[in-house]
Amino acid sequence: MIKIVVPATSANVGPGFDCLGVALSLYNTFYIEEIEEGFEFEGCEDKFKNDKNLVAKSMAYFFKNEAPDFVPSGYRIKFESDIPVSRGLGSSAACIVAGIIAANHFSGIGLKKDALLRIATEIEGHPDNVAPALFGNMTIALCNNIGELSMDIVDISEDIKFCALIPDFRLSTEKARSVLPDSISYKDAVFNISRAAMLISSLSSGNTELLKYACDDRLHQPYRSTLIPEFETVVDIAYSYGAHGVFLSGAGPTVMTVISGSLNNFIDDIEPNLVNLQYKWHAKVLQCDKKGAQLNILE
């Protein structure tokens, strides 16, 4: 049996649409062992207890495309899930990463993380969640003009923390992508380039004074926020209690705030204002996860 622990992730980080992502100290744990035949599932919703399960699909994709000499005939997968589903915190990416790490282990191929990232990106469609889930920290990932994947890691200042503001409703990534425009203006492109550059610098150096402006975005947040009731109210509350920066986590609906060690009472101050809202938002303080996905062999 193997144990795979995968961190939650927050994609885009404001202006870094489809290329930036950060790993967070909230985890899904997967226990996977071989059985004689088929798949068995424990700890997930009934609708996911079949071959459409994203862990199982990712394993099948790996075996089909990598064609290892050995493919086990069955697995039992147990889920211990702390990452909320369809909240913009990378729950799907965690399943994909767990599946390819498991398949890589059981097949005996021994691919390195760079190769696993390529496979995970093929399944997910973009690397902004799967890259930090695999490697930890904040990642910058892109595909070049011949389709090759490149990635680098950004070390976030130790003083930086994140506080996820999570509502009591789900938002599908497909719906969140459907409201995005087909094109943007030159002015908006320049706006996002400058903010993304400042964001990376600020998170790395710990210069929190710049984050309020560095988290601004004109590519996706203005459009997706229309799908999120109380979005502007939650953003205003976060800034009123001292958040350094606020951005939409992935496709939403979670709103991510950037705080620091000096804001020790942030969650106590903000929580009473959130629970009284219609959608019962709750706050969860998180660190940047530095390790990424971890595999342990239990037997």
Distance, in Å, from the CA atom of 107 to the CA atom of 69, rounded to the nearest integer, reads 7
Neighbours of 3 (CB within 10 A): 15
88 marked among binding-site residues: yes
Q: Is 202 annotated as a binding residue?
A: no
**Are the beta carbons of 16 and 54 closer than 8 angstroms?**
no
Residue 194 labeled ligand binder: no
Residue 72: cis peptide before it, omega within 30 degrees of 0? no
67 annotated to bind ligand: no
Residue 108 in marked binding region: no
Residue 50: CB partners within 8 Å, gap ≥ 6? 39, 56
Unique residue bearing structure tokens 């973009």:
126
State yes or no: 238 annotated in a binding site.
no
Residue 85 in marked binding region = yes
Distance CA 269, CA 123 (A): 40
With H, G, I as helix, E, B as strand and everything else as coil, classify residue 40. Answer: strand
Token duo for residue 250: 């992935």
Is residue 73 part of an annotated ligand binding site?
Answer: no
Q: Report whether 94 belongs to an annotated binding site.
A: yes
> Does residue 137 contact residue 288 with C-beta atoms inside 8 Å?
yes
59 and 102 Cβ atoms separated by less than 8 Å: yes
**φ, ψ of residue 52 in degrees (nearest 5):** -85, -5
Q: What's the rounded Cα separation, in Å, for the pair 16 and 192?
A: 8
CA distance 135 to 120: 12
Amino acid at 167: P
76 membership: H or E segment, kind and range: strand 74-81
Which residue numbers belong to the known binding site? 84-94
Which residue numbers belong to the known binding site for ATP? 84-94
